[in-house]
Structure 1
């Protein structure tokens, strides 16, 4: 609490100065960065860099030697910070690694790289080797869920369990709001102004955490500045082969979560995953959107720990 209060003083001063100077988004970005750094520290996470050969990946880790390793994978256009409030509940019993995958967060982007799932799975494999991790429990959201399943199929020897949260990777029987927009030629992730960002942000969660407008302004501006990069990443990972024909190869203990109000990826996809993955444990959250681990971090963390403890 003392750390939070001390942080609040310069935040308030910076906010007032920034508004006077008209640097609303810049101040919002500073506030967001400071808040995430403080939360990570309070929860016991440190930021590290790992050289995996052709790039250096940024990641959080709580350094809990001897404990089982859990790897948490963010979705497209997100970063490692989305996991902090979920991960805080697991720090006593697990060694947690939360990477920024290539092209996201503090990890680098290059037009020359592929951001398809096989390439990202290879990078995750090299990250684990670099960190001397033989096998891990892997949990991922959205694109990260697609990556989780791809990794579990391609690297079964390195996968202790696989948990997919509202994952991409299969064709849903019913189109989501996002899929309808894409069919009309509009990608909601490609942002040109604050109005488009607000429409997009409303699609990501049904029960979002409280975020100050000044921070949302900064996040929106970041999406605008990364528009061309995000187009490239989206094209690459959406051109990856879908997993319907390979789901039966996912042999690790597996769990699937979905928010029934998900506007990005339709909940009807649950049936596709159930039909393909043997012995898949499934939970559908009522009144929750695309990111259950952000919308209800404590409850989902408890469910995840119960799943792991039963393995």
Structure 2
């Protein structure tokens, strides 16, 4: 083969490799958004903007217009509203459902001038309720979202019909999780620099994750890499929020605690702190699940939450 032809072939292969590197995860992202769009429509959810004092929050909303009760679902740190869609499908026949993208997450923009501590995020949830005319709601939050749900129950009890804390941050764990051990060494598993780091992190988030093709995982990895600096800032604000251990006895709304016993991000030992500290709090644990029971076992976790709501109408 002549040298010019060899160089042409090498250039063509290099161009293809570059195209594949750039385009392949974009295809995965397109498939993810298309699938999510189809599922949410099937579940009776629609995309809507909510204007509050410092942000334009994106959301999914659904359920009967004449529903007597509302459920608000709040995702965890670095996550977004999509983690709730299959769980939410079990509520839209009887409840008005509101699923939020908190500022700095999902489709709601990051603004470096904002505060991202859980008190500030809880206030934004209240503003979203005001904007939509929601007087009281059941609040369901996962991880950081559980911390926010607890802040709402503590600081805005008149707006909270009940709260469900799903593997919630916000108290001192008696035993260290895998994440806590990593943080102690100076490494934050949420700070993703490459796709291999993301795969390691993703394995920590769930014990039984739903199957996703590799191109979608690579898209998610690239998204974490792009957002790394903003996530670092949000993490700093979130982790500088005072913990609630000394305030749990002041929570006087009905509380259900859900926890996956195989949680590697927040140790299962935290569940007992929440339950013993909050008067009359109920606890359900899942031996086979990890940090996101609502995503790993949406039907089972939804059934448990619906049974809890039925007692607190």
What range is the shorter-chain TM-score in? over 0.9
Deviations 1:28-87 (A, max 9, x none): 111111111111111110000011122110010014223110000000001001000000
Structure 1 length-normalised TM: 0.93
Offset, 1:20: 10
* Structure 1 moving runs of 4+ over 2 Å: 18-21
Deviations 1:122-168 (A, max 9, x none): 10110000000000000000000000000111100000001000000
Which is greater in Rg?
2
Matches within 5 A, 1:227-238: 227-238=228-239
1:304 aligns with 2:305: yes
RMSD (Å), alpha carbons: 1.2
Aligned length: 294
Give the 3-state SS of the residue equivalent to 2:112 in structure 1. coil
* C-alpha separation in 1, matches of 2:273 and 2:305: 22
Give the 3-state SS of the residue equivalent to 1:89 in structure 2. coil
* C-alpha separation in 2, matches of 1:295 and 1:230: 24
Task: Mark the runs of 5 or more structure 2 residues left unpaired by the alignment.
Answer: 1-15
Structure 2 length-normalised TM: 0.92
Counterpart of 2:11 in structure 1 is: none
* C-alpha separation in 2, matches of 1:55 and 1:94: 26
Give the 3-state SS of the residue equivalent to 1:294 in structure 2. helix
Matches within 5 A, 1:56-71: 56-67=56-67, 68-71=69-72
Matches within 5 A, 1:176-195: 176-195=177-196
Give the 3-state SS of the residue equivalent to 2:89 in structure 1. helix
Kept after mapping to 1: 8 A contact 2:25/2:218: yes
* C-alpha separation in 2, matches of 1:187 and 1:141: 19
Matches within 5 A, 1:147-166: 147-166=148-167
* C-alpha separation in 1, matches of 2:242 and 2:19: 49
Counterpart of 1:3 in structure 2 is: none
* C-alpha separation in 2, matches of 1:20 and 1:78: 29
Deviations 1:75-100 (A, max 9, x none): 00010010000000111110000010
Counterpart of 2:8 in structure 1 is: none
